Structure 1
Amino acid sequence: MDKDTLLVFLALVFGAVFFLTQSIVVPTFGTGRQESRRLKQRLGILSDDYQSERQISLVREKYFKKLSPLETWIESLPAMTRLEVFIERSGHEFPAYRLVLLSLFLALSGAALAWILSHQWLFVLAGMSIFGVIPVMKLRRDLVKRFAKFEEQLPEALDVMTRALRAGYPFNETLHLVATEMDEPIAKEFRIAFDEINFGVDTRWALHSMVERIPSMSLMAIVTTVMVQRETGGNLAETFENIGKLIRSRFRFQRRVLTLTAEARMSAWILAMIPFVLFLGISLINPDYVGNLTQDPIGKKIILWGIVLQIAGNFWIRKLIALEI
């Protein structure tokens, strides 16, 4: 294996593990699976599942009017619909097919670059995979940041709604106050819910749609509370105040956990990078040794199994340090 091919191999493997580490090693606090599933079932029971397709289509009609007939047909495909939800959750506004085209362009560019440098199909496939996933990883990173920001804004939004309810505002107007007085992303989501209600969509369905856009356990609890209170009655302002205190306590506990797991997360990064740093160092000090390893069939199997075990180790480390709160 010549020097250029070796460098391409190192770059592709390092990139693959870097993106993998970004997605599975770095822990992010999210909704617990069991709690999320239970609250979603509760929301499904309380929401109007019999809402007509006309109401849903009216909400999306404004979006489709901006597209050409061909774009509208492409965006209506089931796969594109799922991508559109992913893009919307990440805070961006562009057609889903553009994400597909960008990923294909980068994948072909990565494949062409790998072929020019190495002329080996294994590297071509690796380059195609790594470059093609870059837009998705960028959107996923934006999604995680947006969800975290939304969670941070929820207590303040509940304070605004509590004061408005005690001042005599109806519930719908409290959504408008949050949309006008607070920053993104929570302002946008509450504005969408308020506009949907004004457009004729039932309040429960509008809140359920907001949970679908932002699958936060805290938001699910708030929406469930609103739905139950609208059916049974009660002091909604006091309930919002208590939920706000609970969310703030949860944030304090999250920060404490992040502090306690900082060493473990740093160890995860070090353990993930050490093999590639050592491989690069050995290749620079003794290229013949690395060349024999990559050219021998047994050496190739060792490298392959090393990558597989590296991935498995990353998953295991994530399992150890990731806590669902």
Structure 2
Amino acid sequence: MSQIPTELIIAFLAMVFTAVFLLSQGLVVPVFGEAGRVRKRIRSRLHVLEKASNLPNMQTVLRQKYLKRLSPLEAALEQLPWMENLAQTIEQAGHEYRAYRVLMLGLVLGCGAGLLAWLVFKVWWVALPVAALVFWLPLVKIARDRAKRFMAFEEGLPDALDAICRALRAGHPFNETLRLVAEEHKGPVAHEFGLTFADINYGNDVRRAMLGLLERMPSMTVMMLVTSILIHRDTGGNLTEVLERLSSLIRGRFRFQRKVKTLSAEGRMSAWVLVAVPFVLAAAIVLTSPEYLPMLIKDPLGQKMVMAAFGAMLLGILWIRKIIRIQV
């Protein structure tokens, strides 16, 4: 049995990684996570609320203060296109990295990995995917941490609302209930409610503080909480009863999402099988007939056919993601 070319193995593994990554982004999503379109709608509503209040965007104000503390070079890098969105994503992930440093780290790692792959294999279509994949690794890590933090926050939110209701019944003011939640709970819920309490305690009004919470945690559940509190401040009413119903509604929503995820498990498993079949067959061919695939890879027409097939597979993965996301 002849030896399998190393560049063939590297290309095969790169394609497997790309396919699994794209599919996992559509299928392995947090149960309580919000879709990107929902978060965009929430941000647009935030801008409308702040504009109606004749108040500047809180995130913009904080960012301007942050840029003033940087050196001219760092400030210029932080103001590059898309850098503000990346900085907000890093903050929502619970990290304190500077956005330009994360981007520079990805560029350095990607260029280094691509150059190394080029020096070893002398094949551009191996070096380019390797560089692209390595460049995205820091950003993927931050995105995954952000999704996990959102999920942990929403899982702990019903218990936090119950604690607020108990504190309100005991006679504590609303501001003090936020401090109690920050002290008695752990994780993202305690951190975010602690920031909201500090925002109010340092002189900001409740409306701006709650909108800041929604800006940091753009999800439908937080939007319901913020809307309930703001309406109560404008019209009055029994806030305890409203928060109790909201807590019950969130728990019911979680139960429904778990049920939907269980019912859609067959579709997600079918997606994994469909994506895995080509790679399993390719691995079987490499093991049983090692001289077969190198003929295809070394031929220029064969390379074009492989790239076209991989592109068609990526389209199929994106279509499967769309179908599964509709189901979930």
TM-score (structure 2 length as normaliser): 0.88
Give CA deviations for 1:90-117 in whole Å, capped at 9, x if unaligned. Answer: 1111111220121012102220231133
Alpha-carbon distance, 1:205 to partner: 1.5
Task: Please say if 1:318 is aligned against 2:321.
Answer: yes
Q: Indicate yes or no: 2:18 matched with 1:16.
A: yes
How much identity, in percent, do the aligned residues show? 42
User: Once structures 1 and 2 are overlaid, which stretch shifts more, 14-23 or 182-191?
Assistant: 14-23
For residues 275 and 169 of structure 2, the distance between their equivalents in structure 1, rounded to whole angstroms, comes to 53
1:160 aligns with 2:175: no
| Post-superposition offset of 1:298 | 3.9
Describe the SS at the equivalent of 1:282. Answer: helix
Please give the alpha-carbon distance, in whole angstroms, between the structure 1 residues aligned to 2:62 and 2:120. Answer: 52
Measure the CA separation in 2 of the matches of 1:85 and 1:154.
21
Q: Is the 8 A contact 2:59 2:215 kept in 1?
A: no
- The answer as to 2:52 corresponding to 1:51 is no
Aligned with residue 216 of structure 1, among 215, 219, 229: 219
Q: What is the DSSP-based 3-state SS (H/G/I as helix, E as strand, rest coil) of the residue aligned with 1:93?
A: coil
Deviation for aligned residue 1:303: 1.6
Deviation at 1:66, TM superposition (A): 7.0
Give 1:151-190 correspondences, 5 Å limit. 151-190=154-193
Tell me how far 1:252 sits from its aligned partner.
1.0
Alpha-carbon distance change, 65 to 185 in structure 1, aligned in 2, over 3 angstroms = farther
Cα gap change, 1:324 to 1:69, in 2 (>3 Å):
farther
Corresponding residue for 1:26? 28
Shift of 1:65: 8.0
Aligned partner of residue 12 in structure 1, secondary structure: helix
C-alpha displacement at 1:32, in angstroms? Answer: 6.0
Q: Is the 8 A contact 1:87 1:93 kept in 2?
A: yes
Check the 8 A contact 2:178/2:193 in 1, yes or no: yes
* Structure 1 position 202 matched with structure 2 position 205: yes
| Equivalent-residue separation in structure 2 for 1:55 and 1:11 (angstroms) | 41
What amino acid sits opposite 1:13 in the alignment? M
Structure 1 counterpart of 2:299, one-letter code: D
Contact (CA 8 Å) 1:90, 1:143: kept in 2 or not? yes
Please give the alpha-carbon distance, in whole angstroms, between the structure 1 residues aligned to 2:142 and 2:118. Answer: 28
Cα contact 2:22–2:318 (8 A) shared by 1: no
CA contact (8 A) 2:7 2:121 kept: yes
**Deviation string, structure 1 residues 5-47 (Cα, Å, up to 9, x no partner):** 1112112212222222222333444336776666656554544
Q: Whole-Å Cα distance in 1 between the matches of residues 105 and 41 of structure 2?
A: 37
Deviates more, 1:181-190 or 1:116-125: 116-125
1:86 deviates by 0.8
Under a length normalisation based on structure 1, what TM-score does the superposition of the two structures give? 0.89
1:75 to 62, 78, 81: 78
Distance 1:95 1:293 in 2: 45
Q: Distance in 2 between matches of 1:55 and 1:31?
A: 20
Are the aligned partners of 1:207 and 1:223 in contact in 2 as well (CA < 8 Å)?
yes
Supply the distance in 1 between the matched residues of 2:120 and 2:37 (Cα, whole angstroms). Answer: 48
* Cα contact 1:283–1:289 (8 A) shared by 2: yes
C-alpha deviation, 1:125, in angstroms: 1.1
Give me the CA root mean square deviation. 2.7
Q: Is the CA contact (8 Å cut-off) linking 2:5 and 2:294 kept in structure 1?
A: no
Cα distance change of structure 1 residues 292 and 211 upon mapping to structure 2, 3 Å threshold: same
Count of residue pairs brought into register by the alignment: 324
Q: 2:237 aligns with which of 234, 239, 247?
A: 234
- Please list every run of 5 or more consecutive structure 1 residues that lacks an aligned counterpart in the other structure: none
Compute the displacement of 1:67 (Å). Answer: 5.0
- Tell me the residue number matched to 1:289: 292
Residues 83 and 156 of structure 1: CA distance in aligned 2, closer, same or farther (over 3 Å): same
SS at match of 1:201: coil
Greater mean alpha carbon deviation, residues 224-233 or residues 196-205: 196-205
How far apart are 1:78 and its partner, in Å? 5.2
